[in-house]
Each structure stands twice: as C-alpha cells, then as structure tokens.
Structure 1
Amino acid sequence: MSTSKGSGADPAAPQRADASAWLAVAAGSLGAMMATLDISIVNSALPTIQGEIGASGTEGTWISTAYLVAEIVIIPLSAWLERMLGLRTFLLGAAILFTIFSMVCGVSTNLTMMVIGRVGQGFTGGALIPTAMTIIATRLPRSQQPIGNAIFGVTAILGPLLGPLIGGWLTENISWHYAFFLNLPVGILLVTLLLTTMPHARPQWRELRQADWFGIAGMALGLGGLTIVLEEGQREQWFQSRVIVEMAIVTAIGFVLLFAGQVYAKRPVIKLSLLLDRQFGSVAVMGLVIGMMLYGSAYVIPQFLAAIADYNALQSGKIVLISGIPSMILMPFTPFMIRNIDIRIAVGLGLAAMATSCLIDTVLTAQAVGHDFVDSQLLRGVGTIMGFLFLNQAAIASVPREDAGDAAGLFNAVRNLGGSLALAGIATVQDQRTWFHSRRLEESLSANSVGVQDYLSTLGKSLGGPDAALRTLSGTIQREALVMTFNDIFWILGVGILAVLPLVLFLRPLPKGQSVAMH
C-alpha cells in the first residue's frame, strides 16, 4: 500500500506520537515484514521442498504462485474489510489466520496441502501489507510520518530479499519446515502488540450490503482460473485438455463479472477506470513488467544455482540477497532523490538497469556459479530502488486525491499479477525450451561421427561400459539444454523491460512536496 500527499494523520493526533503509536507502527511493520518475507522464503528451499512432498519442478511453481495470486485478490479488498471490521479486528484476524496457515504449510506432506496453506498465507498476509501504511497515516502526525514511511520502506525491501536467505539457512541447518514454523513466535508477538496498542472499533456490517460482490467473485475466478490455465496448460496440452477448456471458461466468466462490477457497483472493488488515464495506465504496465522481473529473477536464480552449480538453499539465498545491498544504501537518500530527480530520468535509468541486469545473465554457461550473478544482482538492486520507488510515487500522483487508495491497491495488485504471470510463464518456457534445446543438441551429434564415437569410447573405458557413457552424454545434453533455457528466460525478461521503456515519456513530474510512499 502507499500513501499520497493527501493522506495525513488523524486530525486528533498529537504533534508528536506517543509510545503506543510507535508500538502500533512497529506492529504494522512487523506484520508487513512477515508477509513480504513469506513471498520469497520458499524460493531457495524449493528444490528441497519439491523433493519431500513429491512435486515436479513445474508443479513446484504453484508453491510460489499460489501466494501471489491470493495476495492480488486481497490487496484491493483490504480497505473495504478494514472499514467493515475495524482496523484492529481486521489485523488480529489476519495475523492469527496467517500464523495458522503457516503451520499448515510447515506440516504439509503433499502438494495439495502445501498449496492450500500458501493460498491461506497469501490471503491473510496480503492484508497485513497495506494496513501497515494505514497505521502510519492515522497514528502518526504529519511531521513524523516520513520516519514511519522509512521504517515501512525497510521492511518492504528487506522482506523479499531476506526470505531466500532465511529459508535457505533454516533448510540447510534445521529443516525447511521451520521456514514456516518461524511465523509462530512472530505471530504471537504481533498479536500481543496489536491487542495492547490498537484501539477497538465497532464493526460496520452495513458495508456488506455495499460490497462489489460481482467484482470480488470476478477477481477470484478470473485470476485463479488464469493462473491454472498458465500453470497447467503446457502439461495438459493446452486446449486439448478438458480441464484447461473449463478453466478458460471460468476465467472468462470471472473477468465478465469483474467488469460488471465496474458498471453496477456503487464502489467497485478495484477501480479499473483509472487505467484509462494515460500516466496511470503507463505506470501500471511498467509495474506489471517490473513485477515479472522482480519475482521471476528471484525464482530463477535459486533454481539455476541448485540445478547447475549444485548450490544448497543457503548459498542460493546469499546470492539473491546481493540485490538488496544497493537498495539499503540508497534508501536514506530516497526523499532527496524524489525531490530533485525528474521522474522520467529516474524511472528510465531504473528500467534500463533492470533490463541490463537480465541481459547480463543471458550468457550463462554450465560452469557458472554464484559470483557470476554478482554484477547483475547489484544492477538489479539499483534499478529496483530507482524505478519502482518513483513509479509508486507516480501511481499516487497521477490520480485525484480521493482515488489514491484505489490507485495504490491497483498498482500493487498489478505488480503481484506480473509476478504470478512470470512464475506461471517460466514453468511453461522451461518445459518447452528445454525440450527444444535438447532436440537441437541431439541433432547436432551424429552417431556415425568419428569424434562422437571416440568420445563415447574414451568415456566408456573410464566409466565401465558403453551404457554408462551414453547416460553421461545424455545428462550433459540435458544440462546444457537447461542452461540455454535459463538464458532464454533472462532474455525474455530483459527484452520485456526494454519494450515498456518508452512509456516513461508519458510520466509527468511529481508535485513539489510529494511525500514518500512505499511498497
């Protein structure tokens, strides 16, 4: 969630916040940290988790995607749920349920159970993220809100980056189950802070009558169905499968209901008409592609290091964390940059850095290891802080003050949608391109070639026979094909960012005095 220049503290708030207010801010930031951490905490541990619950590499993407899809649905609903239940009740419910669903993930023994737990985590964790900014806007006076925004900004950046490292350390030193059990003590602390620092508000049940039920159902069916189609399409032979056809119909019905809500609901759950604004529409498209790059690269790098470099979960997590170094260094300077750097220059440089970081990773080889990602990860971190931070500001500044909340929810939903589409697309690309490269490599090796025969003969003597030599050659082909496939994925991500780079020309300078918005 984000705040705009028009969001201020509660009129009744004192000029300086008391200890209770700061503890409330700490509670909100802790909840947001817990939720953002769990977006990526499974990435470095995913190969281990897949093996233990019996999921294939393609099926394993569901463990990451399920969380993102659920977040996409809940983020735009958070403002309505907050009004209906009251902020404290809403947060308490989300924190308790998030902890429970984390335990479900931790004790999962199969893919179905894990996905159910991750969907529950996404629904409840997604609610914890935007409400953190609501606490800052309502409990702190305007003069102290930049401090609260900075605290939240640190959690928003650190969470996804620390996730793979913490998940990797727990997987290697204890067990992957504790990547989820970790949320139990944190959840207890969060609930305690909420009970002692947040005032109770009476539920407003009349909000149920005013809800955009068409939109709510449409988002769930449309986004859920679309994700299933993308995830399972390749494995089910696309529209030759009855399941894919049925899911495509569900997706279409969902989007029809979503658009019906735009017409008939008094207050649509997500205000899609904002996309018609030239600046906001451009921001949304760039946010979608950036989401694809951020979540796609954070997923692919640990997969590459595990499959090719034989890295364990902890080693992969350390490489992913490198991109957070520039973000943390630049974070204190973000208010200065926002006031003094033209948004078109900042976003342009940020997108260019992100695209370059992906293109650098298109020349990986089977000998590549972690340090081959250092340069690209550092560039990725610079691009993220420059591009994404300014885009978040532009999303709020490009709409009227009364639409700032809708703009923030839509922008963050679009970013997560990009991540979901990337993870689903990566699974499909990985299947298709690995098969394609394997066949091309096999075609280049003639069985009658003297060189091939000599190679197999030498290999057979060292390994104990021709069968072992053929198996080794097959493994080498598969390995090289997989490396080429990862290079293709980074190329697609890089070119995708370059394709939206011209949209920076539609951005307008930020208003003077614009306050820093995060997430």
Structure 2
Amino acid sequence: MSAAASTAAIAAEPQYPANRWLIAGVVGMAAFMEVLDISIANVSLSHIAGSLSASQDEATWVLTSYLVANAIVLPISGWFSQVLGRKRFFIISIVLFSVASLLCGLAPSLSWLIVFRVLQGIGGGGLQPVSQAILADSFPRAQRGMAFAIYGVAVVFAPAIGPTLGGYITDHASWHWIFLLNVPVGVLLLILAGALVKDTAAYEAARRAKMADGFRVDYVGFALLALGLGCLQIMLDKGQQNDWFDSSFIIAMTVIAVSCLGALACWEPFQKHPIMDLRLFRFSNFALANLLMFMLGFVLLGSTLLIPQFVQSVLGYTSTLAGLVISPGGFAIVLMMPIVGFLSNKIEARWLIMFGLVLVSASMFHLASFNLNVTFDQLVVARIFQTLGLAFLFIPITNVAYIGVPADKTDQVSALINLARNIGGSVGISLVTTWLARRAQFHQNVLVENITPYNAQYHGVIESLTTHFAQMGAGLEAARQQAQAVIYQQVASQAQIMSFLDDFWLLGVVLVCLIPLIFFVGSSKDADVPEGAGH
C-alpha cells in the first residue's frame, strides 16, 4: 500500500483521545499564558523604565518587541508543526517561552529585556495556533464547540484581565514577577503536555508522507513574511507616537511592509511547500472567518484599551478602579463560553455570529450615549453587555474556519485564524488611539470657535467666574485669567469625552457593517469533507 493510501486509510477512522478534556485544559492554559503576556506589562512600563534607567518611550519597546516576534511566528507555526511534529513543536514553544520569561524577570538592562522579550514572543507565537490545532484534532465535530469554548476563555479573558493583574503584581511585589510567574506555570505545562498530548496517527502519517515527498524550506517566503509582518507591527505600534506619515521612519516601515507582504501574496500560491498556505483563502468560509476574526480582535483589544482610558482620563478613576470596570466582563466571558459552546452544536454558526455582532454593536452604541454623570455600576454593566456579545463570536467564527478544509491543513488554519485576530487587535489599538487624538482636536477647535467676546453666553460666564474669584481675594486681572483657565479646562474636558464617544460609535458602526457578510457564510452542517477528514 502506498504512503498516500495508508494515510487515507488512517484518516478515514479518526481516533479521538479518551483524555481529550484534560488535553483541552492543558492547551487552554498554554494559550492563556501566552496571550496574557501581550497585555500584562502595559501598566508596568513606568516601573520598568524607572528601574532600568530608561525613558517611557524607550520602555514601550518591551511591548513592541514581543508583538513583532509573535506576529512573525504565528503564521509559520503550521509549517513548524509539519516539520517538527505538532507535539514536539508545542513542547519546544513552552520551554522557550518559560526560559525567556525567566530571563525577562532577571534582565539587568532595558536592552537585554527587549532581547529576551523577542525570544519570549518567538516561543509564545507557536502556543496559540498549535493549541487550537490540537483541540481541532482531539475532538469530534459534535464536541468542538465546547473544546473551542475552553480555548476562547483563554484568548478572550486574558487581554481583559492582563492590565489589572499586571498592575496588582507590580504594586504589591515587583514588575519582575509579571514575567517570573510564567516559569512555574511553564514547568507544569511541560510535564502535562509531555504526558497527555500526542500527535494523532492520521496527522503523523500525513506529516511523514509530506516530508518523504522531497520537502524543501521556503526561504524566500520566510524572509518576506518575517520582514513584512515585523515592519507592519512596528508601524502599527509606533504610528501614533511618531505622528504617522509625518515620520520618515513610519513611511519606511509602511513601504517595506506593503512591498514584502505584496510579494509574499504573489510568491506563496505557487510554492509546493509554502511557509504560509495562502491557497486556503479559496475556501469561502475560511476567508470570511478570517475577516470576522480580524474584526473580533479589532473590537476586543480596541475597546479594552478605550474603556480604562475613558474612566481614568475623563472620570478620574484610579488604575485599580479602571481594572475593576474591565474585569467583570472577563468573568462574564468565562461563564458564557461554555453556554455558547453548547449552543454551537444546536444552532447554525452564522446565526450565532449574527446575534453576537448585533449584541456587541448595540453595546458600543450604548457606551457612546454616556456622559460625565455615568456611574461605576453602569460602566460595569455596559462592559458585561459587550463581552456577552463577544462570547457569541469567537467559537462560531472558529468553527466556520474549519468547514470544508482538508485534514492536513488544520495547523495552517489555526495559524492564519490566530494571526488574523492578533493583527486585528494591533490595527484596532492603533486606529482607535489615532481617532481619539484627532477627534479630540476636532471637537476642541469647534468648541473654541464659540468662545469669543461676542458670544453673550460666554461673556456672562466669564463675568460670573471673574466676580467669584475676585470675591475669593484675587485681583481683577488674576480673577479674569482664572476664569478663562476654568473655561478652557471645561472645553478640553468636553472635547475629550466627545472623542471617546466618537470612538465607541465608530466601533458600533463597523460591527453593523459586518452583519450582511453573515449571509455569505456557509452552513456549519454542510462540510465539504466527511467528519473523519476534518481532523
């Protein structure tokens, strides 16, 4: 019997591990640990900068370096899995991530911390997609919804809890421990993964057959991918800080990113063993799932950034209170994911996605209706409302991505769908930050136009405030200057809150525009391949 026939025979009778729920817990924890490190250091940058004698701007490279390395490894993790074997690559990723975390915690300078964060990002980049691929192969289609619920809790809850957890650890211990805590978790995961995770017979047979068929390394594809995604991530992360295209550095990053990724899109479809299989986008469900997952990352990380900034800069909340506004939404996702996992086996994925889009867009419009009188409880309820909708998006979108895709492409599917979510998050953070700054300036300019001596209302307010400050003991000229300062402060405050509300409204509009796409998503009950071939 030929290698191809043998592979087909094994794939026709899939064998699912009896301990698959334990495996789901292990890979879910690995994904959680990796995603958590994307956001856990955000609130600790000032402490890191002070401890390592660096500026705040220099310290932001602690975040950028991790994201760049992560973005490069994510899409090629499927290729590494096929070359090394999925279990072997998973364990190597855990080891590298854990060792790099230890080195980050012990870093003697900012330069070394950035180098170790790059290593941590390389190790972590393989954990998300490989974890998802292991779940896809370990569970029959009827149980995939619940399995992806465990994974969904990890990758959606982690960004929500990261800043709060990072702030607490930094305040009560040291910033070093936000990295050092990964080490014992990594050791535990290494032991459990070694004992529980195994490559399926079908997967291993397909991998060996492919390796025996003259497998070659796609060096050109790898170089284009690494340079293109690296420059794209730097451009997104540093764009607003460098005033976007007024900066020659950002222009250079953009040109390199567009050129390399464009060349990659032309090169990869014609390679026998591509570093990233872009031919998967010929499957309409997979292509739509990537677009929807990109927007899920866009809204999830964009709103997770906006809400704490809103309550701190506009309402004057402390960092702890801002974290308490966000955290209940994360716990709501934890409770909701298993329910959505159960529903995904009963209801068409496309209808669950539509419900999620309607719910999240409604929550964004609700946030856009707030004013300075909004209470803490109202903010918490609004965040929970939003995250309930997000729970209805992650699992169904992930399920749709695998419909009709051949069995030996599971790793590539996981890699590309996770890349879409991560890049979407980076784009979301960049755009909402830029939109926030531009809209604040716009609203301030509009409001200032009405502050003239010829405006009777303005004149009345100035006179009233001047009289008030004069009665408090200030001289006439000093009282008038104090009155003008109060009015300017009110203008700036109003412009700021209006810019936040514009951002929330924009996110709501973007989600509403996605709803018509759901009608192009195929039925989750109609796979192009039989059940056995889908794993």
TM-score by length of structure 1 reads: 0.82
Is the CA contact 1:72–1:414 (under 8 Å) kept in the aligned structure 2?
A: no
After superposition, the Cα gap between the structure-2 partners of 1:26 and 1:206, relative to the gap in structure 1 and judged at 3 Å, is: same
Is the CA contact 1:96–1:187 (under 8 Å) kept in the aligned structure 2?
A: yes
Aligned-partner SS, 2:344: helix
Is the CA contact 1:171–1:313 (under 8 Å) kept in the aligned structure 2?
A: no
Residue 376 of structure 1, CA deviation: 2.4
Is the CA contact 2:133–2:411 (under 8 Å) kept in the aligned structure 1?
A: no
Summarize the alignment of residues 97-496 of structure 1 with structure 2, pairs less than 5 Å apart: 97-103=96-102, 106=105, 118-136=117-135, 151-194=150-193, 210-446=216-452, 449-459=459-469, 465-466=478-479, 470-496=484-510
Q: For the residues of structure 2 that align with 1:289 and 1:26, how far apart are their CA atoms?
A: 27
Unaligned runs of 5+ in 1: 1-5
Is the CA contact 2:336–2:391 (under 8 Å) kept in the aligned structure 1?
A: yes
Is the CA contact 1:47–1:306 (under 8 Å) kept in the aligned structure 2?
A: no
Residue 348 of structure 1, CA deviation: 0.9
Any idea what the Cα deviations from partners look like across 1:475-504, whole Å, max 9, x if unmatched? Answer: 443333222221121122111111111000
Q: For the residues of structure 1 that align with 2:396 and 2:146, how far apart are their CA atoms?
A: 18
Corresponding residue number in structure 2 for 1:93: 92
Corresponding residue number in structure 2 for 1:3: none
Root-mean-square deviation over aligned CA pairs: 4.0
Q: For the residues of structure 2 that align with 1:498 and 1:146, how far apart are their CA atoms?
A: 25
Residue 54, structure 1, aligned to residue 55, structure 2:
yes
Unaligned runs of 5+ in 2: 1-7
Is the CA contact 2:333–2:387 (under 8 Å) kept in the aligned structure 1?
A: yes
After superposition, the Cα gap between the structure-2 partners of 1:511 and 1:60, relative to the gap in structure 1 and judged at 3 Å, is: farther
Q: For the residues of structure 2 that align with 1:232 and 1:154, how far apart are their CA atoms?
A: 29
Report the more deviating stretch, 341-350 or 165-174.
165-174
Q: For the residues of structure 2 that align with 1:103 and 1:438, how far apart are their CA atoms?
A: 47
Amino acid at match of 2:279: S
Any idea what the Cα deviations from partners look like across 1:233-275, whole Å, max 9, x if unmatched? Answer: 4554544433233222211331133124324421222232333
Residue 361 of structure 1, CA deviation: 1.2
After superposition, the Cα gap between the structure-2 partners of 1:425 and 1:309, relative to the gap in structure 1 and judged at 3 Å, is: same
After superposition, the Cα gap between the structure-2 partners of 1:470 and 1:341, relative to the gap in structure 1 and judged at 3 Å, is: same
Residue 141 of structure 1, CA deviation: 9.2
Q: For the residues of structure 2 that align with 1:461 and 1:228, how far apart are their CA atoms?
A: 55
Residue 422 of structure 1, CA deviation: 0.9
After superposition, the Cα gap between the structure-2 partners of 1:63 and 1:294, relative to the gap in structure 1 and judged at 3 Å, is: farther
Residue 16, structure 1, aligned to residue 13, structure 2:
no
Aligned-partner SS, 2:316: coil
Is the CA contact 2:67–2:233 (under 8 Å) kept in the aligned structure 1?
A: no
Is the CA contact 2:224–2:263 (under 8 Å) kept in the aligned structure 1?
A: yes
Give me the identity figure in percent. 29
Amino acid at match of 2:380: V
Amino acid at match of 1:210: R
Q: For the residues of structure 2 that align with 1:276 and 1:83, how far apart are their CA atoms?
A: 21
Residue 14 of structure 1, CA deviation: 8.4
After superposition, the Cα gap between the structure-2 partners of 1:184 and 1:335, relative to the gap in structure 1 and judged at 3 Å, is: closer
Residue 147 of structure 1, CA deviation: 7.3
Corresponding residue number in structure 1 for 2:70: 71
Residue 176 of structure 1, CA deviation: 4.1
Is the CA contact 1:9–1:139 (under 8 Å) kept in the aligned structure 2?
A: no
Aligned-partner SS, 2:274: coil
After superposition, the Cα gap between the structure-2 partners of 1:173 and 1:313, relative to the gap in structure 1 and judged at 3 Å, is: farther
Q: For the residues of structure 1 that align with 2:394 and 2:132, how far apart are their CA atoms?
A: 17
510, 517, 523: which is aligned to 1:509? 523
After superposition, the Cα gap between the structure-2 partners of 1:459 and 1:174, relative to the gap in structure 1 and judged at 3 Å, is: farther
Residue 419 of structure 1, CA deviation: 0.5
Any idea what the Cα deviations from partners look like across 1:62-86, whole Å, max 9, x if unmatched? Answer: 6656544443332221122233334
Q: For the residues of structure 2 that align with 1:141 and 1:392, how far apart are their CA atoms?
A: 15
User: How many aligned positions are there?
Assistant: 503
Is the CA contact 1:9–1:137 (under 8 Å) kept in the aligned structure 2?
A: no
Aligned-partner SS, 2:383: helix
Q: For the residues of structure 2 that align with 1:463 and 1:215, how far apart are their CA atoms?
A: 73
After superposition, the Cα gap between the structure-2 partners of 1:378 and 1:198, relative to the gap in structure 1 and judged at 3 Å, is: closer
After superposition, the Cα gap between the structure-2 partners of 1:234 and 1:83, relative to the gap in structure 1 and judged at 3 Å, is: closer
Residue 510 of structure 1, CA deviation: 1.0
Q: For the residues of structure 2 that align with 1:239 and 1:166, how far apart are their CA atoms?
A: 35
Is the CA contact 2:150–2:338 (under 8 Å) kept in the aligned structure 1?
A: no
Any idea what the Cα deviations from partners look like across 1:20-53, whole Å, max 9, x if unmatched? Answer: x877655433322211222332455567768886
Is the CA contact 1:309–1:369 (under 8 Å) kept in the aligned structure 2?
A: no
Residue 317 of structure 1, CA deviation: 2.3
Residue 341 of structure 1, CA deviation: 1.6
Q: For the residues of structure 2 that align with 1:398 and 1:462, how far apart are their CA atoms?
A: 76
Is the CA contact 1:316–1:370 (under 8 Å) kept in the aligned structure 2?
A: no
Any idea what the Cα deviations from partners look like across 1:302-324, whole Å, max 9, x if unmatched? Answer: 22222223333332222222223
Report the more deviating stretch, 70-79 or 294-303.
70-79
Residue 326 of structure 1, CA deviation: 3.8
Is the CA contact 1:280–1:394 (under 8 Å) kept in the aligned structure 2?
A: yes
Q: For the residues of structure 2 that align with 1:236 and 1:362, how far apart are their CA atoms?
A: 28
After superposition, the Cα gap between the structure-2 partners of 1:183 and 1:453, relative to the gap in structure 1 and judged at 3 Å, is: farther
Choose between structure 1 and 2 for higher RCO, CA contacts under 8 A separated by at least 6 residues: 1
After superposition, the Cα gap between the structure-2 partners of 1:142 and 1:483, relative to the gap in structure 1 and judged at 3 Å, is: closer
